[in-house]
Amino acid sequence: MAKLRYLDLFAGAGGLSEGFIRAGFTPVSHVEMDAAACYTLKTRLAYKWLLNEGKSDIYDSYLRGEITRNAFYAEVPESLLSTVLNYEISWDNIEEVFQKIDDNLDGEKIDLIVGGPPCQAYSLIGRARDENGMLGDKRNYLYKLYGEFLKKYRPKYFVFENVTGLLSAKDADEKLHFDKMRALFQQCGYKTEYKTLNAADYGVLQNRKRIILIGKYGDGEKFYPEIPKIERTYFVGEIFKDLPFLRAGGGSARPIETKDYQGHYLYESGIKQMNHQMVTFHNARPNTEQDKEIYRIAVNLWNKEHKRLSYTDLPLHLQSQNNKESFLDRFKVVAAELDCSQTVVAHISKDGHYFIHPDILQNRSLTPREVARLQTFPDDYYFESVSGKPSRTTAYKQIGNAVPVCLAEKVAKALKECW
């Protein structure tokens, strides 16, 4: 089969893209507005190129901080790095974005477009937090720009991903955005079908439901591919088994060696490639004494009664948040003995302490690497910042916004069978 080339819009840190690459698709361009995520995409492309050239030691040297990011990027073709386009797609710049993509295509055809606009405008939490319920938010209408890419490149298929709140989000005229979206895609020449998929059914150790809408150019129906589910045979504790013990504030963003691992899940999911592998961003945020006291209460409650902590059940001296009407489950123990954890939320960069390590002796929030494993990012995936210096907060943000890699891979493999 000839190369199947795809364009990734609203690419984020590349969770969706990583899954499609694993399935054998070839990226033409990634378009993303967040500068830090663009550096992450560039670094991932650079690593894969160096690995193919037998020069992965250069990547290792970069992760250890022995060479700068500029020196690292200088080791790979500029034409590769230039496929990552740092744009906030708008009506003002769409023609410029088209030109950049065309330059990268070099006369070839785009077979597939993947990606989903930022989800905050559609999410139930986003609407609850916004005083206007996200009415009029420009992110509600990014699908119209998505449609312009469909009209321009006419791929055989497209994959549009978003939160389940999309199904109920309404415009100012009380009509569903989802209905308007599908009508627009129909005007662009595409039939669409969708399903709500839970990442937990596809090898991911968290409950994370997403709308996966697939469009096919021309006529047709019942074309949605069969995506085989994976039996849940592993528990969340698998992600912790080989990671070094940490206290709050401990660890390092630089590479550290993992412990001996005799399990199977980390290999089967593609998270781990070898025993005693080095990992980055296994560093815990420095929590306050109040945070740690709450964590102890939350973990003890789970261990003794298998109950999640409600914020209003805390002693009054620990209730420092003004909002006591909603988000009462803001402190979540990632229970090791369950087959699926709580959903990793997109706003983990702000609320990372929601996700608490189940070991009372460690008594801390999860590290970016632990969260990345819940999202099934491979351990050799590095999350960049704008400055080039490791940033735990920036890593949390990119990981929380991502599509779990294993879910993306399963969708990609099923769709590939349709060619």
Q: Which residues are catalytic?
A: 119
414 class by beta-carbon count within 10 Å (0-12 exposed, 13-18 middle, 19+ buried)? middle
Q: Given the DSSP bridges, would you call strands 190-198 and 209-217 parallel, antiparallel or unpaired?
A: antiparallel
Q: Report the b/e string of 296-322 with b at 16+ CB within 10 A.
A: ebbbebbeeeeebbebeebeeeeeeee
Query: Residues 104, 5: contact at Cβ < 8 Å?
Result: no
In degrees and rounded to multiples of 5, residue 179 shows phi and psi of: -65, -40
Length of the chain: 419
Q: What six digits make up the tokens of 270?
A: 């593609």
Q: What six digits make up the tokens of 62?
A: 């970069």
Q: What is the C-alpha separation between 12 and 23, in angstroms, rounded?
A: 19
AA identity, residue 191: K
